[in-house]
C-alpha cells in the first residue's frame, strides 16, 4: 500500500501465489497508522466485502475507487439508496471507462504501479529463500 503524495510504502505483505489480494487486505490495513480517505485498487478488490472492511476501519467518508467488471450489475436498492459502486457502474455506462478513470482519479493508480515497479527494480526480479 502506498501513499501517493509522499511515495511512502505504508503497508506490505509477502504472500504465496494462492493468496488473493482481498484476502490479504485485512492484514495490510492493520499496518496503516494514520487515516485513509482514498482507496484506489484494481478490480480484484471490487465488491461489498472490501467496501465494508474499509468503511469499518476508516469511516463512512472513505472514497473507494475500484473498477467494476464489464458485466457488473446495479444493486437491488439502486433506486432508493445507490451505492458508490452503483454510481461507478452508471458513470461507466454513460461516459465510458476512460472518462470514468479521469473523473474519479483512478488514473492516479498508475503512479502507484510506477512506485512499486521502482521498488521491485531495487529488490530484483525474484526473492530467494530456503523456505517461505
pLDDT tens, position by position, 55-113? 999 999 999 999 999 999 999 999 999 999 999 999 999 999 999 999 999 988 888 88
Residues 93-96: contacts with CB within 8 Å, 24+ apart?
none
| pTM of the entire predicted model | 0.82
Per-residue pLDDT at 49: 92
CB 24 within 8 A of CB 53: no
Beta strand pairing call for 63-65 and 38-40? parallel
CB 67 within 8 A of CB 42: yes
Sorted by where each begins, the domain ranges of the chain are: 21-69+105-123
Mean pLDDT over each residue of the chain, to the nearest integer = 89
Q: How many CB atoms lie within 10 A of CB 41?
A: 20
Closest CA to 89 of 108, 68, 63: 68
Per-residue pLDDT at 9: 87
Q: How many CB atoms lie within 10 A of CB 57?
A: 16
Q: How far apart are CA 114 and CA 95, in angstroms?
A: 27
Per-residue pLDDT at 73: 92
Amino acid at each position: 500500500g502506498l501513499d501517493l503524495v509522499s511515495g511512502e510504502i505504508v503497508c506490505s505483505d509477502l504472500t504465496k501465489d494462492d493468496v488473493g489480494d482481498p484476502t490479504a487486505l485485512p492484514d495490510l490495513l492493520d499496518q496503516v497508522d494514520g487515516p485513509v480517505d482514498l482507496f484506489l485498487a484494481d478490480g480484484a478488490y471490487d465488491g461489498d466485502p472490501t467496501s465494508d472492511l474499509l468503511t469499518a476501519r476508516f469511516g463512512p467518508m472513505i472514497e473507494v475507487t475500484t473498477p467494476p467488471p464489464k458485466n457488473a450489475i446495479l444493486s437491488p436498492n439502486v433506486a432508493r439508496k445507490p451505492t458508490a459502486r452503483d454510481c461507478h457502474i452508471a458513470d461507466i455506462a454513460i461516459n465510458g471507462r476512460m472518462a470514468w478513470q479521469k473523473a474519479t482519479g483512478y488514473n492516479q493508480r498508475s503512479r502507484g504501479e510506477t512506485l512499486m515497479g521502482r521498488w521491485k527494480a531495487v529488490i530484483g526480479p525474484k526473492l530467494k529463500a530456503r523456505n517461505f
